[in-house]
Amino acid sequence: MIDSIKGPLGAMKGAGVNLDAGAGAAGDTFSTVLKDSIEKVNKLQTEADQAIQGLAKGDTGNIHETMIAIEKANLSFNLMVQVRNKLVAAYEEIMRTQV
């Protein structure tokens, strides 16, 4: 059981998430990571919109890059929605816990 937990935690440490900090710093780290992730998704959405507008105006004739930008934005948004769903489910589970 412990070994299965170490795998994801090792991956998080490799991604630059500070797991050894105190409770206050860990909360700041989580909120910072969450905020940065949302900003990246927003940036990808904006880039996809600009690629679509450029293709529609005729500025860019490369439909491949436009489709790649759209799919990146779509995948990142879907991942963000799934992460949000998991966070909401975890919150609801904690709220159901009897003390």
How would residue 38 be classed by pLDDT, with cut points 50, 70 and 90?
very high
Q: Which two tokens stand for residue 89?
A: 């489910």
Tally Cβ neighbours within 10 Å of residue 44.
19
Q: Which two tokens stand for residue 71?
A: 């799919």
Q: Packing angle between helix 23-57 and helix 63-96, nearest 10 degrees?
A: 150
Asked if residue 18 has pLDDT above 50, the reply is yes
pTM over 0.85: no
